[in-house]
Chain A
Amino acid sequence: DGGITQSPKYLFRKEGQNVTLSCEQNLNHDAMYWYRQDPGQGLRLIYYSQIVNDFQKGDIAEGYSVSREKKESFPLTVTSAQKNPTAFYLCASSPHTSGGAFYNEQFFGPGTRLTVL
């Protein structure tokens, strides 16, 4: 089955520790995205990558880092610099488009709920 997997589903971290959230997709999609969701805030973009070895900051990139060494994988590291990391993190991907098409659904993973103790 094709899809996006995120692991772990629940993650607990002590203050001052870095932690890495996994996101893997077998859909052969070019673009991948990380969003953060807080209650009442909707989804906010952290980072995105449109191609391997390239990524761009989103609206709330401070305190986070990413890498895109393989097409299938886009891990997110929450560093100790992130002041309030407790949130629900969603990874998404979308296929390559051409010809200026802007219909391009984003497919989402099941999410990781991070709690800082």
Chain B
Amino acid sequence: AQKITQTQPGMFVQEKEAVTLDCTYDTSDPSYGLFWYKQPSSGEMIFLIYQGSYDQQNATEGRYSLNFQKARKSANLVISASQLGDSAMYFCAMREGSGNTPLVFGKGTRLSVIA
């Protein structure tokens, strides 16, 4: 069964507007972490933001925020004030349990920012 689902293969957003990238996850482990990575066309993976299953507040990092709805098992990424440089692939990922267990990734969403 797919653990991470990203239902939007591609998204367009106007420059300076906000955009939400969807991510739903599936786990029976009460302890887990959710991550978002950005992958520009160069291929590098850039860590954006993290949310732990026990965190009471939604995570924020600059223009990135995570809309964490635990009961719905969703962890949507919100990018405010989009910039042209935000055009990239965005991946949601999850780690169950603790330590160094590998991240499990969704299939990604390609975001295109339009001037």
Contacts and interface: CB of A to CB of B under 8 A. Distances in A.
Interface of A: 30-31, 33, 35, 40-45, 48, 50, 58, 88, 90, 92, 94, 96-97, 100-108, 110-111, 113
Interface string B96-112: 11111011111110000
Contact of A42 (B52, B96, B102, B106): B106
Contact of A111 (B37, B43, B97): B43
B102 A111 contact: no
B84 to A, nearest CB: 22
B100 A50 contact: yes
Given A42-B91, A43-B105, A108 B44 contact: yes
Interface range, B side: 20 to 34
B44 A110 contact: yes
A40 B35 contact: no
B99 A101 contact: yes
Given A102-B31, A103-B33, A105-B50, A88 B95 contact: no
Interface of B: 6, 9, 31-33, 35, 37, 42-45, 47, 50, 52, 91, 93, 95-100, 102-108
A94 B105 CA distance: 16
A103 B108 contact: no
